[in-house]
Structures are given as structure tokens and as C-alpha cells.
Amino acid sequence: MIEVLTALTPEDIEAVRFLVLAHAAALREHPGSEGVRSDAEQLPGPYTPPRGRLYLARFEGIPAGCVALRALEGAIGEVKRMFVLATVRRNGVARALMERLLADARQMGYETLRLGTLSEMTAAQQLYRELGFVEISRYPTGDQMDTVFFERTMRAR
């Protein structure tokens, strides 16, 4: 069973921090992975209400994945720090996280969401396309890695 919740308690934020640090460790060979580590140390940082969110997914009761939403400019939000532990991938955790984020982003008034993912993360790219994201050219971001960028208009679906 997958449970997705907004990480608000110190325990949930610490679980997300662990997952983001695991993500950074997996990226250690990529330029910019230090930014992921720095982000983990500053959680919840820009991912706090009212314009941000930090999500934790539990799979069979165990912290298994995370994703975050932050404001960019105006009604544009950015999806960050999507990560699912390798041991539970292909069980719908990433989709559950994204579906919750999309529903909340719509309620928060975001008109557009953007994200970047490594070019080698083809399964993530496929999920984003299935969820209505389209590939776009680079947008201003702090990410320095080999990144493919996506955008989704938040029309009612």
C-alpha cells in the first residue's frame, strides 16, 4: 500500500532529508549533485506552504519516496527532488507522489509546472509524459546536470 502525505512533522521532514541525501549519493558522479545535498540540509526550505509543499511516500509503512514543489515566478511552480528508493521502484510510488502534487498544485493556483530530470532517467521521463508534461527548452534553474526539461499546463483534466 502507498500512502502519500505532506511532510510537516520533524520526523517526516527527517525522512525526506534521508531520501534526498540518498538521491544525492546516487548522483555523486554528476556535476551539481552538491546542490542536492545542500537542499537536503536546508529542508523544508522553499518547499513550505503556502506556495510550496514537501511530500513523503510510504510503501508498506516505510519511507520510500519524496517529491517537492516550490514557486518559481507568478503562477509557475517547479517540481524538485523526485526520488524513489531503488528497492521499491516500479510499484507506483512515483506516480502516486506526482498525482498528489498535481492535485495540490492545481488547488494552490499554479497555472504551469516545470521540472528537470537527468537525460538518463528514461522511466521518469516516460512518467512525466504520461502525466501530461511536454519537453521544453532549458529554463533558468540552478541545476547544472545533463538535464531534460518538461512543462505542464495545469488545465482542468
Q: What is the pLDDT of residues 37-53, one digit of tens each?
A: 677 778 888 999 999 99
Report how many domains make up the chain.
1
The residue segments making up the domain with residue 127 are 2-153
| Residue 27 near residue 121, CB atoms below 8 Å | no
For 89-148, write each residue's pLDDT tens digit: 999 999 999 999 999 999 999 999 999 998 888 999 999 999 999 999 877 665 556 889
Peptide bond into 63 cis (omega under 30): no
Residue 143 in 3-state DSSP? coil
- Number of neighbouring beta carbons within 10 Å of residue 64: 25
CATH number of the domain enclosing 40: 3.40.630.30
Rg (CA), the chain: 14
> For the chain, what percent of residues have pLDDT higher than 90?
68
Virtual CA dihedral for 122, 127, 128, 134, nearest 10 degrees?
70
pLDDT in tens, 50-67: 999 999 999 999 999 999
Q: Is 135 helix (H, G, I), strand (E, B) or coil?
A: strand
Q: Alpha-carbon distance 124 to 95, whole Å?
A: 9
